[in-house]
Chain A
Amino acid sequence: EDKVVQSPLSLVVHEGDTVTLNCSYEVTNFRSLLWYKQEKKAPTFLFMLTSSGIEKKSGRLSSILDKKELFSILNITATQTGDSAIYLCAVAGANSKLTFGKGITLSVRP
C-alpha cells in the first residue's frame, strides 16, 4: 500500500521566517511527487517533481526531491500571511492514482 507522511502536521511562524515542510513516501513504481497549496477551497498545484536533486522554484517557494531517501522538502522563504494554508504532498505510483499525505497546516502570524 502506498504511503505518504508529512511533517510537521502544523506549525506557526512569524512573517519573514523561513519554513521547511517535509514529505516522505513509500510507493510502488514511483512516477511523480506533487505539492499542492490549499487555502479555503480546492487545492492548487505548486510543483511536480520527477527527478532527484533538481530544484523547482517559484518565487519564494522551492522544492526538491530525493528518490534515494524517498523524501521531498518544500521551502518557503520570507513567509507572508498569505502563505497561511494547508500544504499537501501527494505521490503518483504504478496504478496512476495519487496518494496524499495528511497535509501540513502552516500559520504565518504578522
Chain B
Amino acid sequence: DADVTQTPRNRITKTGKRIMLECSQTKGHDRMYWYRQDPGLGLRLIYYSFDVKDINKGEISDGYSVSRQAQAKFSLSLESAIPNQTALYFCATSDFSAGTYTGELFFGEGSRLTVL
C-alpha cells in the first residue's frame, strides 16, 4: 500500500458542486501539503499544515479550504467548483522530527479533477 493515499484518483464534476479530495498517510509525518499542478506551471502550494492545529494558506488558496482531521488525514475542499480549478492535485508529506528537516516531500499519486 502507498504511504500517501489520495481519493478519489479521478473526478469529473460540474460547476458549482462541492468537492472534497482526501489524503491519508502512514509515514507518521507531521507536515502535510496540498499542491495543484497545471501544464507549464509546475506545482503551486494551496494549503499546508504543520500539525493538527496549524493550518496555513499557500500561494493560491482562494476558492479552497482544508481540514486536518488527524495527524494522518488532510482534506481539501472546493466549496463551489469552477472550471479553472480543473487540474491535477497532489497531497504531500514531510518530516520535521529531531530538527532534521530537509524539505523532501513524499507525494501521493495525485487526484485529477475536471470541472465542467
Contacts and interface: CB of A to CB of B under 8 A. Distances in A.
Contacts of B50: 96
Given A42-B90, A42-B108, A42-B110, A102 B103 contact: no
A71 to B, nearest CB: 17
A96 B101 CA distance: 8
A90 B31 CA distance: 17
A90 B109 contact: no
A10 B66 CA distance: 34
Interface of A: 6, 9, 31-32, 34, 41-43, 45, 48, 50, 88, 90-92, 96-103
A48 B110 contact: no
A91 B102 CA distance: 10
A9 B41 CA distance: 10
B48 interface: yes
Nearest to B50: A96
A45 B110 contact: no
A92 B101 CA distance: 10
A67 B42 CA distance: 23
A48 B105 CA distance: 11
Contacts of A45: 104-105
B109 A102 contact: no
A31 B103 contact: yes
Query: Which of A6, A88, A97, A103 has most chain B Cβ within 10 Å?
Result: A97
